[in-house]
Amino acid sequence: MIRHILHIDLDAFFVSVEQAFAPELCGKPVVVGGRPERRGVVASASYEARAFGIRAGMPLAQAYRLCPKAIFLQGSFSAYRDASERFMEILADFSPCLEPAGLDEAYLDVTGCEAHGTPRQLALRIKERVKKELKLIASVGMASCKVVAKIASDLGKPDGLVEVAAGQEKEFLVPLPVASLPGVGEKTERALKAMGIRTIGQLATLPLEAIKNRFGAAGVMIHHYANGIDNREVEPPGEAKSISRETTFAEDTLDRAFLQAILRYLCERVGAELRQESKHARTITLKLRYADFETITRRISSKEATDADEVIFAGVVKLLDQALARKQKLVRLIGVGVSNLIGYGKQLNLLDSKPQRLWNLDKAIDRIRNKYGFTSIQTGRTLLLKDVFASREGDCTLETPSLSR
């Protein structure tokens, strides 16, 4: 059976989110990554900035030399994460077979969705909704396998829509440079060049054995890809096993009120994700890294599972107080985690164990945050962080999420 796979990738993602917030940035060379006088690299560059040769991964100082009039922004990671969540929600409306492959890209298998339209019609509708609801531009590649769909979406950028008909995969790939193949990094590209291979077409015609001898299993993979062969399924992520968030402070601290406010914020993030995954947690973990890099984790488990921000918060605050009572050392990193997760259905006495008030409150806040972004609502216990939120610079480094499956 011929599969219909879409690869959707947002154009200049970080920059485009900034432009959606501040339309005066549209049409200008914009770079997200930080101030050019600071160390660091370009995370995302607008297409206008790319016209000057600026690329992701390039040192900011070099980007500045290429285009001094470019607008350099620190960026706001939580805004990107919120946009990413909303982007994935739109995609999920088109098919349940959705595999996020990063914040701004995903594979969607729409085989069998003919009743709703052809793959091209679905792709156009996705682009339309992303534009209308998120003010972002999605480039879409359509093909019978993942690797060709991905290359097609890259090729059409910006604002692309490239369809590769079944049977045309190899022909489509022939003229493209080998570096467009996923799995061919700079090192492999150099090694292939030394062998006289520059295009995917040349790679495809090499005997498989020659590539296998030179590059091993990775060689077999890129040889298959070069021939338009990729049997990988679009795989929706498995169920979450643990969820955690942590943050490193700009300055080490022992300010208990501040630590509690940060903890509350992290708990709300973890709780929201837990509810999103329709899970309850039995184990709550606090992680602390002191200024001297000593790192401790402390956990409490309970028979009663929870997904309430308030309960998770009460747990970690207790752990924090115990840790601070034992050691008075400056803290450089703090994190909250939940694990030992169970599905809603397994906790039959749930409504008794979680006060209705907390349930209603968390749900109401989730709804608003899902619609307007996480930081659209700030709860009383995090008010101390107002300044951190106000400076988008701080927001960018507020926390690192981690979800293990």
Judged by the rule CB under 5 A, the positions of this chain that interact with Mg ion are 9-10, 13, 104
Q: Is 172 in the site for ligand TTP (CB under 6 A)?
A: no
Q: Is 14 in the site for ligand TTP (CB under 6 A)?
A: yes
SS3 state of residue 71: strand
From the list 18, 48, 99, 105, the catalytic residue is 105
* Residues 125 to 154 in contact with ligand TTP, rule: CB under 6 A: none
Provide the sign of the torsion angle of the four alpha carbons 382, 383, 387, 391, taken in this order.
positive
Which strands form 295-306's sheet, in the order they lie side by side?
295-306, 279-290, 331-343, 242-253, 400-404
* Contacted by 14, from Mg ion, ligand TTP, none: CB < 5 to 8 Å by type: ligand TTP
Q: What is the DSSP string of 253-297?
A: E--HHHHHHHHHHHHHHHHHHHHHTTEEEEEEEEEEEETT--EEE
Q: Which of 4, 8, 11, 184 binds ligand TTP (CB under 6 A)?
A: 11
DSSP 8-state assignment for residue 338: E
* Contacted by 50, from ligand TTP, Mg ion, none: CB < 5 to 8 Å by type: none
Q: Which of 30, 43, 142, 240 binds ligand TTP (CB under 6 A)?
A: 43
Q: In whole angstroms, how close is the CB of 316 to ligand TTP at the nearest point? A: 29
* Residues 207 to 266 in contact with ligand TTP, rule: CB under 6 A: none
Alpha carbon of residue 2 to chain centroid: 29
Q: In whole angstroms, how close is the CB of 285 to ligand TTP at the nearest point? A: 27
Q: Do 53 and 63 form a contact (C-beta atoms < 8 A)?
A: no
Q: Do 204 and 173 form a contact (C-beta atoms < 8 A)?
A: yes
Two structure tokens written together for 382 = 């995090």
> 63 vs 259, which CB is nearer to Mg ion?
63
Instruction: Name the one range near ligand TTP by CB under 6 A: 88-96, 100-108, 277-285, 327-335.
Output: 100-108
Two structure tokens written together for 383 = 């008010």
Q: Examine the residue annotation and report whether 105 is marked as an active-site residue of this protein.
A: yes
Catalytic residue numbers read 105
* Binding interface with ligand TTP (CB under 6 A): 9-14, 43-44, 56-57, 103-105, 157
